[in-house]
Structure 1
């Protein structure tokens, strides 16, 4: 009985082997393999560059440290690969994928982003019914919040009438830019996320507009005086955290950080303090119009306080030894020495002050007293100003 059962098992195994060629055969799904290499400018790193496939949102990969990538497709055909990274302008390459073969697209060259500019592409591969495309700014919003994309060989478009629309915008706010893609079907507008976006934030597509490594504000100071050596003039910003002396001929080039409005503050023992706004939003080099400094007159003392330097400023005042430490109002209404009303620079010009060195401080609120961050000099408690 036991022998008969053993023979039956052998017979079953023999039949299975004859029918399939083996006891168990592994199922192999044929794929088409595509390889390539992202090439970036010398001394730059390709890591972080993403390769996505138009019309196939589930297929994408990132390059390795050598810029190499590999994609696999289960269906042969012609595919559009979109390549982009935070430091580089978006670009693309076509490839014909063949099952059970490896096809190389070769080198794909990406250009480094230009400061204050951004490039977008949109394709009819992703949106087959589209008859046109636009880019819409979300945050920050542009003066013209929506700009068209082109498929005519202009505005950064590589090949006219290939179904890949392109646009390049200039003079943008640097840093994060939230946006959407609008694809048109005749007059019908459809607002969507960019399928090849760099990042996604708050449910929106995000592109990073390149900032300069260091921004510069440059210009010249002048005055009504002649034969002046301006090297005693100190130029400061960021509450005095960064300061330089102006050249003897009045020229300066001040390294700046930040991405918005800042103030250049000029002062010296011979000239009244003056604050000049600069906007570093869209340009790496800001050419400041000539700054005229007013020479101190006898008995004059001028004070300024920049509201944006402090977290909270409410009805600011100045106290000084020549006011018997009684608070004196600072003004931002175009009076009392204030240059521009409502610009956030509070000012007070005193006259008939006794010559010599005077101690002072600012009350930025009723309970918070601070020293002048742009003081000429100071001691352990107060700022000090020279009155002629």
Structure 2
């Protein structure tokens, strides 16, 4: 596993660059997911604009307006913060055993680096504004097309999505939140995808309505990108080892170096007793450890064992037991291998993205593509929950997880939405 890009470059290329400790693997893939989704959304919006399904609206802009000191100060402040922390990390924070998050949240940094970068960004903003300013600023009316608002959509989705993901995660793990609310809110880990999707959707739809963008065509355009972003985001979960893995596969154990080994069922109990302290801390009792045995079938012998069971060595949350001969911050491995559910979701969501992308031109009912996305995503997540570790609720004798509840609602809501869109199209279709 690669908690941050420093470990990835060290393992894959044999190169140690302390500065890369700044870039968390999970955050890196989340950024890639946003960029990929923005590209797909832009491409699909342009296609619908060429078909006349989406139109732009005129907006007034002031050309030649001089830059304000507030804008200059804002860029200078941003430069100072970046220089203060980034250069501080580059030159002062090089010990792999130190906590990067604590360093970022602290008052430590490189003052000279902050002043230099702050001055540079402030001057560049001033020089750029002065160059574009004219003696007589004039007001012009230009047409803004929907695809030109994708940067706005992306920023809104990033802010609202991360906020929603954090809120839903803490609701799902309320006991942990109550114990340390400040730590839970400021932590870089602990994100629930559906929480982000729900809040981001509300914010973006509200914004689209204010800009007179056809919401049905907008959500259809966004559906393939959302599926792609989910799959890419799960890469961050898998490669960092953030804890979003499955239950234990009791047919496999992990050795001290982190490699998985096929073992008979009796070995499972032996390893549990050997790591009794770890399991007791996790589950309170050795009798309530979630597990299911499944050995790799002979027909699939060509596939690697880690596709069926994985110990997530060097995981970012330091879950498990100490690895032999490892020193530093990330030296834990799960004593019993788990089902690598993020890997399964990566494969499933990339395939489902291909399905949505291939049918987007064939399904002509406005809004239906998004309904199909809801159904596909809900079904995928509902079944993966069967082998995932998650907090469960007690509802009238049933014990569903938050994701199972939401995914079920997504499937039902998606089906109802498709029916409504079909009915809506028939209602507006002219009689021949």
TM-score, reference length from structure 2: 0.20
Task: State TM-score, norm by structure 1.
Answer: 0.21
Largest Rg, 1 or 2: 1
Higher strand share: 1
Q: Which structure is higher in helix share? A: 2
